[in-house]
């Protein structure tokens, strides 16, 4: 059978390489199909099935043969070889290949930091940043695959973070808890369970008064714990002191995020909230309101 010594798609004549049109079509097709998402194995199997000639009487295509074609830069044209595919197609296919092969570049520290801080408001899972094909489109999404109606890329995320951080730098006292418990309390899982239990008990045909009363009391005391006043005045004071020394910036200050941001919460409509070191949460709605009137003292129940 003999081994092919000249690159698939070409023939050599008087030291020069010339394109073999039928083979060049196969090369283009391999790139096209690979970029459209087919695997090397399925491309090889199809070519074998169609009895496409690889070399002389050889019509068996392997995954490796397809791989060698996708990796070969000569196809983009150079001093020796005329061009069969564009440089762009070559780069795209090879970016996909390294992506699929798991040879991903390590995260830069800023991205690693955001991955540690970002959580999904829906389910509490961490957020991750997926690179989509072509290695250029990135998207932040919930690791738990919560559905989202927005596309959060770096630019969008960085813009939102900058805006929120600048809001706090403009108005450091925004980190203070408003009087009473203006901060919406966060029910613990236990509290949610208790509330459901109370609903279940009261919905019964013959409600049992004593156990219901006991559960309601218990839940009330848990609820009180959830909305205690400024849980850490000292932390808040220090934080405000520090933020007063800062200047606004037009890109996210990652040093600042490392220091004073506990979590970045992403909601399913694409808005984000920042939970600061003292557990004060500032969100985009607040940013849009522009900290004008401060008399929204919600009660805690
Ligand atoms: Zn989620």
- Going from N- to C-terminal start, the domains of the chain cover 10-100, 106-185+227-301
DSSP 157-206: HHHHHHHHHHHHHH-GGGGSPPTTT-SPP---HHHHHHHHHHHHHHTSSS
Q: What token pair was written down for 98?
A: 């390294």
Q: How close is the Cα of 159 to the center of ligand 1, in Å?
A: 22
Give distance in angstroms: CA of 122 to centre of ligand 1. Answer: 5
pLDDT by residue (tens digit) across 72-129? 999 999 888 999 999 989 988 888 887 666 555 567 888 889 999 999 999 999 999 8
C-alpha of residue 145 to centroid of ligand 1, in Å? 6
- CA of 121 from ligand 1 middle (Å) equals 7
Ligand 1 center to 144 CA (angstroms): 5
122-176: pLDDT as tens digits:
999 999 988 765 556 788 999 888 888 888 998 899 999 999 999 999 999 988 8
Question: Percentage of residues in the chain with pLDDT exceeding 70?
Answer: 81
Half-sphere exposure of 99 (CA within 13 A, CB side): 19
180 vs 16, higher pLDDT: 16
Neighbours of ion ligand 1 (CB under 5 A): 120, 122-123, 125, 142, 144, 146
Task: Give the distance (Å) from ligand 1 centre to CA of residue 130.
Answer: 15
Q: Which is more confident, 209 or 229? A: 209
Residues of the chain above pLDDT 90, percent: 44
Closest to 273 (Cα-Cα) out of 72, 120, 45:
120
* Cα 190 to middle of ligand 1, angstroms: 20
Q: What order do you get walking across the sheet with 281-283 strand by strand?
A: 118-120, 261-266, 272-276, 281-283
pLDDT band at residue 296 using 50, 70 and 90 as cut-offs: very low
| Sign, Cα dihedral of 146, 148, 153, 156 | negative
Res 114: pLDDT: 94
Say how many Å lie between the CA of residue 231 and the centre of ligand 1: 27
Using the mean position of ligand 1's atoms as its centre, give its distance from the Cα of residue 271 in Å. Answer: 14
| pLDDT at residue 293 greater than cutoff 90 | no
33, two tokens: 């199909």
Whole-angstrom distance, CA of residue 124 vs CA of residue 142: 9
């Amino acid at each position: 059978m003999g081994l092919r010594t000249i690159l698939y798609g070409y023939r050599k004549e008087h030291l020069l390489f010339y394109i073999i049109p039928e083979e060049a079509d196969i090369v283009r097709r391999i790139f096209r199909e690979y970029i459209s998402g087919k695997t090397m194995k399925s491309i090889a199997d199809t070519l074998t099935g169609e009895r496409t000639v690889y070399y002389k009487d050889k019509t068996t295509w392997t995954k490796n043969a397809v791989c060698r074609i996708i990796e070969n830069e000569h196809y983009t044209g150079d001093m020796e070889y005329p061009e069969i595919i564009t440089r762009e197609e070559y780069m795209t296919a090879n970016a996909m290949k390294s992506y699929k092969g798991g040879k991903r570049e390590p995260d830069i520290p800023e991205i690693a930091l955001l991955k540690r801080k970002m959580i999904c408001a829906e389910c509490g899972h961490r957020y991750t940043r997926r690179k989509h094909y072509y290695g250029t489109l990135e998207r932040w999404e919930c690791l738990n695959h919560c559905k989202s109606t927005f596309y959060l890329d770096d630019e969008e995320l960085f813009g939102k973070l900058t805006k929120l951080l600048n809001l706090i730098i403009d108005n450091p006292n925004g980190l203070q808890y408003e009087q009473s418990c203006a901060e919406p309390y966060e029910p613990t899982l236990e509290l949610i369970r208790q509330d459901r239990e109370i609903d279940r008990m009261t919905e019964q045909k013959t409600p049992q008064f004593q156990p219901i009363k006991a559960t309601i009391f218990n839940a009330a005391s848990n609820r009180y714990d959830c909305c205690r006043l400024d849980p850490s005045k000292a932390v808040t004071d220090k934080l405000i002191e520090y933020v007063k020394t800062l200047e606004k910036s037009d890109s996210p200050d990652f040093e600042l995020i490392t220091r004073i941001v506990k979590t970045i919460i992403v909601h399913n409509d694409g808005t984000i909230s920042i939970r600061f070191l003292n557990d004060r949460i500032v969100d985009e709605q607040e940013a849009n309101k522009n900290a004008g009137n401060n008399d929204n003292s919600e009660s805690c129940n």
